[in-house]
Amino acid sequence: MRITFHGAARQVTGSAHLLEIGRYRILLDCGLFDSDRSAPDSPNRSFTFEPRDLDAVIVSHAHNDHIGRLPCLTKAGYNGPIYVTKATGDITSIMLRDSARIQREDSRHPNPKNPGAGLTEPLFEIADVEWVVDHFNRLPYDVATEILPGITLTYKDAGHILGSAIVQLDYEENGKKRRFVFTGDLGRRDMGLLPNPTPIQNIDILVSESTYGHKTLDPYDKLIKQLHAIVARATRLGGKIIVPAFSLGRTQRMVYCFQELFTVHKVRPIPVFVDSPLALRLTDVHRDYPDAYTPEARRVMDPDPMYFGSKYVEYCGSWDESRRLNYMTGPMIVIASSGMCEAGRIKHHLRHAVEDPDNAIVIVSYQAEKTLGRQIANGAERIQMMDTWFDLNAAVYVLDGFSGHADRNDLTWWYAQSGGNIEKAFLVHGEPEALEALTPVLQPHVLSEVIVPEKLASYEV
Ligand SMILES: [Zn+2]
């Protein structure tokens, strides 16, 4: 087999790995790179392989850095099956439609940050997304399916977001049975809502993510205690708790955590508002897969009229519902997107809340450099929104343990479960610091030197 790394090599975005097994070519993921789409040399604007030559595409999960360029692939002439888990199929169709809509809107307005750049041509249109959805081949977890002659695919739950999967491929080469495993993104262990990432044994070739290979994050019970204290403070002061959160995954996790606080930990309930139309649609998908959650989580949510919904949780669809929250008094919780405070409804909630010291802002996810969310997390005294400066008087709490990514301890555990004797291993989907820190953790389980591939590096394995 030959493997070539076309993205997420020494960086965290643009996941795309090309496998050549015998005469078949299989692409793992087709993600968006984090780059300015308007730049003519953006890596999102062209492929470094020939889409027409592919025989199959296998998707690990529905985050944009793993699915964001699927419509470009079909636009460029790919006409074969796209394998997804059932929930990933549902979520991907929502995420890609949303992406096409945003790109269409952007293409009609000049970029305010770069007005001289002209209008940006969308990478794809809604019609391209429909084509992708039509070619989905939805597979359940834990069922081996022959996707090409002699090559079987088995999806294993990765516990990262709903529908997320580890990709296991079994095939025969030169009369020898071989097992290839791609972790996709692995979730954290013992995080309440989703199950732990599934361990896999007898791996010959491993491609592992490494996002938080350099970090040790707080355990779940500590995070819940911190959240408890934040809710108690809001109740005492009558304050608002503002939680910037991505619409996919983090929003549902936080809703669940507040439900757990109110029911299991007997914290006095306060109203929770989820303010994001995209989160509303994605939460509906989360309700369609009750079996995806841990038995504890199901016990917490079973008494409610529906999952991720109780009398304390209200979802805001319209702008009027959203604006109404600005004029309500606490105690209350507002979960809104975007997760890094760069766009969306979170901005007007912050504008109304940041100057009051009785309020709190709770950062529960990664904040990229230069984003408003990063400034808040770093404890800036003043922040600028829509040309106006605001004093940041609200209390700021950074609870990055709510991340969807396995930390160093979780990855150590997962590698140890493999039973070792891995013939070849590659680390992808990480910044240099994470890759360097994780290499010695993985090395004892691998018979050859762990490889950190550069983009477009190619290996016969
Ligand atoms: Zn992910």
Helix (H, G, I), strand (E, B) or coil at 400: helix
For residues 135 and 83, what is the distance between their CA atoms, to the nearest angstrom?
Answer: 8
Residues 60 and 34 in one domain: yes
Q: How far is the CA of 188 from the centre of ligand 1 (A)?
A: 12
Q: Which two tokens stand for residue 138?
A: 């939805």
> Which of 160, 227, 229 shows the shortest CA–CA distance to 193?
160
For residue 66, how far is its CA from the centre of ligand 1 (angstroms)?
7
Final residue of a structural domain among 376, 402, 428: 402
Domain termination residue (choose one: 402, 421, 440): 402
Residue 37: the pLDDT is 65
311 and 377 share one domain: yes
| Residues 249, 247: Cα–Cα separation, whole Å | 6
264 DSSP assignment: T
Q: How far apart are CA 430 and CA 9, in angstroms?
A: 8
Please tell me the distance from the alpha carbon of residue 85 to that of residue 91, in angstroms, as a whole number. Answer: 10
CA 212 to ligand 1 center in whole angstroms? 12
Which pLDDT score is estimated for 115?
A: 58
* Distance (Å) from CA 102 to ligand 1 centroid: 20
Name which of 159, 187, 200, 208 is nearest 451 in CA terms.
208
3-state secondary structure of 286: helix
Give 58-116 pLDDT, tens digit per residue. Answer: 999 999 999 999 999 999 999 999 999 999 999 999 999 999 999 998 888 766 655 55
CATH number at 265 reads 3.40.50.10890
* The pLDDT value given to residue 118: 60
Q: Which of 298, 102, 111 is nearest to 195 (CA)?
A: 298
H or E element in which residue 211 lies = none
What's the rounded Cα separation, in Å, for the pair 340 and 246? 8
CA of residue 323 to ligand 1 center, whole Å: 31
144 in the same domain as 63: yes
Task: Tell how far the Cα of 187 is from the centroid of ligand 1, in angstroms.
Answer: 9
Instruction: Return the residue matching tokens 């997107």.
Output: 337
Provide the domain limits for residue 68. Answer: 2-215+404-460
Q: How far is the CA of 356 from the centre of ligand 1 (A)?
A: 34
Structure tokens belonging to residue 41: 């040399």
Cα of 359 from ligand 1 centre, angstroms: 31
Mark whether 39 and 87 lie in a shared domain.
yes
Asked whether the beta carbons of 254 and 402 are under 8 A apart, the reply is yes
Q: 329 and 432 share a domain?
A: no
82: number of Cβ within 10 Å = 26
> Do 191 and 230 belong to one domain?
no
Q: Please list all protein residues whose beta carbon sits less than 5 angstroms from ligand 1, which is an ion.
A: 63, 185
Say how many Å lie between the CA of residue 331 and the centre of ligand 1.
Answer: 33
Q: Are residues 7 and 132 both part of a single domain?
A: yes
Task: Determine the distance separating the centroid of ligand 1 and the alpha carbon of 62, expressed in angstroms.
Answer: 7
Question: Separation of 71 CA from ligand 1 center, angstroms?
Answer: 18
Q: How many CB atoms within 10 Å of residue 113? A: 8
Domain boundary among 375, 402, 429: 402
Contacts of 446 (CB under 8 A, 6+ apart): 206, 420, 422, 423, 424, 425
Tell me: do 316 and 425 sit in the same domain. Answer: no
My answer on whether 377 and 420 are in the same domain is no
Which CATH number do you get for residue 73? 3.60.15.10
Task: In whole angstroms, give the CA distance from residue 197 to residue 406.
Answer: 9
Same domain, 32 and 105: yes
Bridge partners, residue 316, by sequence: 275
CA 417–ligand 1 middle distance (angstroms): 22
Residue 181's SS3 state is strand
Backbone angles phi, psi at 92, to 5 degrees: -60, -40
Query: Do residues 382 and 353 share a domain?
Result: yes
Amino acid at 253: R
Helix axes 86-108, 277-287, angle to 10 degrees: 170
Q: If you measure from the C-alpha of residue 93 to the centroid of ligand 1, how many angstroms do you get, rounded to a whole number? A: 16
Distance 67 CA to ligand 1 centre (A): 10
Whole-number Å distance, alpha carbon 176 to ligand 1 midpoint, is 33
pLDDT tens, position by position, 5-39: 999 999 989 999 999 999 999 999 999 998 766 67
Q: Which of 380, 275, 403, 367 is nearest to 328 (CA)?
A: 275
Question: Can you tell me the distance from the alpha carbon of 267 to that of 259, in angstroms, rounded to the nearest whole number?
Answer: 10
129 to 1, 120, 364: CA distances (angstroms): 31, 19, 30
- How many domains is the chain built from? 2
User: Which amino acid is residue 373, in one-letter code?
Assistant: G
CA of 9 to the centre of ligand 1 (A): 15
3-state secondary structure of 365: coil
Query: What letter does residue 33 receive in the DSSP assignment?
Result: P
Strand blocks (E) in 22-62: 24-28, 56-58
- Which regions in the chain score pLDDT beneath 50? none
Tell me the C-alpha distance between 427 and 184, whole Å: 11
Look at residue 82 and give its three-state secondary structure. Answer: strand
SS3 435: helix
pLDDT of residue 114: 59
Instruction: State pTM to two decimals.
Output: 0.95
Cα of 63 from ligand 1 centre, angstroms: 5
What ranges in 264-307 are assigned the alpha helix state H?
277-287, 295-301
For residue 165 the two structure tokens come to: 């999967």
Same structural domain, 242 and 364: yes
Q: What are the residues whose beta carbons fall under 8 Å from the beta carbon of 385, sequence distance 6 or more?
A: 347, 350, 351, 372
Give the residue carrying structure tokens 């597979």: 139
> Helices 432-442 and 408-417: crossing angle, nearest 10°?
30
